[in-house]
Amino acid sequence: MNKILSIKQLTVEYDSTTIISNLSFELTKGDFLCVVGPNGSGKSTLLKTILGLVKPKSGTINVAAKTLGYMPQENKISDIVPASVTEIVETGTLNQNLSRAEQKKRIAASLKTLGISKLRQKTFSELSGGQRQKALLARAITASNELLILDEPSNNLDHRSKLSFYATLSRLNESGYTIIMVTHDLDHDNLVGNMILSLDPSNRFFGATAEYVERIHHDH
């Protein structure tokens, strides 16, 4: 099995409050993990800890991927100064030692994959919610061709845009990406991914999506 992420006995504290306690799980290449749980259960903190933005109190995190593609919540992007879609996606190519030609090729490929090539010169603030999410996802896939880490990417999207966005994620997953996604949408109609991690303190779970659904049905 090709392990891409291994977390062992992870504990994260913030201002002396334990956010994540003794968490362990592993992902293999090609997994699509949905991280669920109530507000304050540590979903975003887990992502930030994997990204190295938050230091854990104890435990280990081993990431086998060479690069990570992070997609924050859409409202975390500063749009006071205008930025074009190309400029935003281009930041995903930084620190990869790519030539200018390779950068351009990578940007064009990411925009094409997400069907937003026509928007490349548009200003980010002019885009609709769904288009913004695609631009940020394009930046993430430009930054990594292995592991995507997405923080509530379907926030502020209507039902139709959500379904379209999830279909895009499923396609990326089928093309080889491992995906970790924090989501509030555990609607059975639009379940995505093969694995679920529930950080609900009263109902912690890590396993296959089908098993989780069965467990929820059984509990009800």
Partner 1 sequence: MITSIIEMLQYDFIQRAIITGIAIAISAALLGTTIIPRRQSMLGDGLSHVAFGASAIAISLSFSPLYTALPCAIAASIIITKFANHKNTNSESLIAITSASALAIGTLIISISGSNIDLNAYLFGSILAVSQIDLIASLIVALVAVTCFIIFRKKIFAITIDNNFAKSIKINTDFYDLVISILCASIVVIGMKALGALLISSLLIFPVSTAIQFTKNFRQTCIASTVISCICLTIGFTLSYTYSTPSGACIVLVNLAAFILANVYRKI
Determine the 3-state secondary structure of 136 from DSSP.
helix
Cα 133–Cα 155–Cα 103 angle in degrees, nearest 5: 20
Nearest residue (CB) to partner 1, 83 versus 109? 83
Q: How many CB atoms lie within 10 A of CB 153?
A: 26
Nearest residue (CB) to partner 1, 36 versus 143? 143
Which residues contact partner 1 (rule: CB under 8 A)?
Answer: 15, 48, 51-53, 67-68, 70, 72, 76-84, 86-88, 90-92, 94-96, 121, 123, 139, 143, 149
User: Which candidate, 134, 124, 118, places its Cα nearest to that of 169?
Assistant: 134
Strand ranges inside 29-176, DSSP E:
32-36, 58-63, 68-71, 147-151
> Closest separation between CB of residue 19 and partner 1, Å?
13
> Closest separation between CB of residue 81 and partner 1, Å?
5
> Closest separation between CB of residue 152 and partner 1, Å?
14
Nearest residue (CB) to partner 1, 151 versus 185? 151
Residue 168 one-letter amino acid: T
Phi, psi of 28 (to 5 degrees): -105, 160
> Closest separation between CB of residue 90 and partner 1, Å?
7
